[in-house]
Copies of this chain bind each other. A is one copy, B any other.
Amino acid sequence: MLITSHDVARFAGVSQATVSRALRGDSRVSAATQDRVRRAAEALNYVPSEAGRSLSTRTTRRIGVLVSDLTNPFYPHLIGPLHDELERCGYRMMLLAERSDDALVTEQLLDHSIDGAVLTTTSTGSGLPDALRRKQLPFVFLNRVDGRDGVDGRNGADAAVVDNERGGRIAAAELAELGHRATGLLGGSDDTSTGREREQGFVAGLADAGIVLPDNRIRRGPYDFDTGYFGLSELLAADPSITAVFCGNDVVAIGAYNAALRAGVRIPDELTLVGFDDLPMASWEAFALTTIRYDLRAMARAAARLLLERLSGEAPDSAQRVVVDPELVRRGTHAPPLTAREER
């Protein structure tokens, strides 16, 4: 039923070992034999068994990718390029959902069905990175880190991230420049490195301009539509004087945009909105979102490269970190505050 290398060997009149060597292009096998084996394999439609190979080589050429919620528009843009880069390097992607049930995920990661892992949605409280370190499963942080590194050298792990702090500063500088003083923040959860760093950068950037961000102008939540949608209403209810809001990412910003539409708040006249990520939908006419852009594809590719380098042993002992640069892209959701314009 199942064609094995033994069948090919019999067909080609050689030993199973020779089949294995011939098909892998081992130079010790004569060209003539390689040819004969190749033709035999072709004739029998032979496909090497992945399980046998894994067992023998202790390697799977599979990478596990942990994501929390695929239907969040952000992740596909991360996973897509990651998948392509892995495939380009001969690796396959096993998609795993990060759920409350850590034990199951951990077991799936550690049963040697993958050579390494990419963690895209680590929260700072998670025990998973430490578990992987203990079990010596190579992994790389993508997008978020667990915030443990720096405390202790051994805890470092490879990571590909954007300079979130800088992104926050850029947004703050732009708002200050426009003349906004009453700014709000619809931030990511503060158990994510991205949420914390973007907020830190934003607060610091405002401070540079002599602006303080009081707690009642801050709402935080998961990076989803609802956080923006309901968060904006709450924010404006708590402090109607707010003229500009920096959002944790584009998905949150688009949630906020839609809440503004619903409430009849005109954008950008009455409210300035700035996002983060520059997803394709940010450039749609319907939103024309002013946002912080960075090269998401490059970031994903860097993560793949870091991990594969580590697997191949080419990587240095110390953890490597790729940080991509953010920049502001101005579209249609920013303007000076009304008051400033009236003063002119």
**Distance (Å) between the CB of A62 and the closest chain B CB?**
8
Q: A80-B71, A84-B97, A108-B92 are in contact. Are A280 and B50 (CB under 8 A)?
A: no
Chain B neighbourhood of A72, CB < 8 A? 76
How far does the alpha carbon of A87 sit from the alpha carbon of B107 in the complex, in Å? 13
Cβ of A147 < 8 Å from any Cβ of B? no
How far does the alpha carbon of A93 sit from the alpha carbon of B96 in the complex, in Å? 7
Most B CB atoms within 10 A — which of A111, A257, A287? A111
How far does the alpha carbon of A96 sit from the alpha carbon of B87 in the complex, in Å? 9
Chain B neighbourhood of A69, CB < 8 A? 80
> CB distance A70 to B80 under 8 Å?
yes
Chain B neighbourhood of A77, CB < 8 A? 71
How far does the alpha carbon of A114 sit from the alpha carbon of B50 in the complex, in Å? 9
Q: A55-B52, A94-B94, A108-B92 are in contact. Are A71 and B76 (CB under 8 A)?
A: yes
How far does the alpha carbon of A96 sit from the alpha carbon of B83 in the complex, in Å? 8
Cβ of A51 < 8 Å from any Cβ of B? yes
Which A108-129 residues have a C-beta within 8 angstroms of B? 108, 110-113
Chain B neighbourhood of A225, CB < 8 A? 280, 284
> CB distance B111 to A49 under 8 Å?
yes
Q: A71-B77, A75-B76 are in contact. Are A257 and B280 (CB under 8 A)?
A: no
The contact of A112 among B49, B79, B92, B94, by CB within 8 Å, is B49
How far does the alpha carbon of A272 sit from the alpha carbon of B164 in the complex, in Å? 42
Cβ of A323 < 8 Å from any Cβ of B? no
How far does the alpha carbon of A75 sit from the alpha carbon of B77 in the complex, in Å? 12
How far does the alpha carbon of A105 sit from the alpha carbon of B71 in the complex, in Å? 25
> CB distance A107 to B47 under 8 Å?
yes
Looking across the interface, which residue of chain B has its beta carbon closest to that of A263?
B285
Which A241-297 residues have a C-beta within 8 angstroms of B? 254, 257-259, 261-262, 280-281, 284-287
How far does the alpha carbon of A51 sit from the alpha carbon of B57 in the complex, in Å? 10
**Distance (Å) between the CB of A251 and the closest chain B CB?**
10
Cβ of A48 < 8 Å from any Cβ of B? yes
Q: A73-B73, A258-B286, A286-B257 are in contact. Are A95 and B93 (CB under 8 A)?
A: yes
The contact of A47 among B49, B110, B259, B262, by CB within 8 Å, is B110
> CB distance B111 to A48 under 8 Å?
yes
Apart from A51-B60, A51-B113, A54-B54, what 16 extra A-B contacts exist at CB < 8 Å?
A45-B135, A48-B111, A49-B55, A50-B111, A51-B55, A55-B55, A62-B113, A70-B79, A70-B83, A73-B73, A75-B76, A79-B95, A93-B96, A257-B286, A259-B285, A281-B281
Q: Which 7 A-B pairs have the closest CB atoms?
A: A50-B113, A51-B54, A261-B285, A70-B80, A258-B285, A50-B111, A51-B55
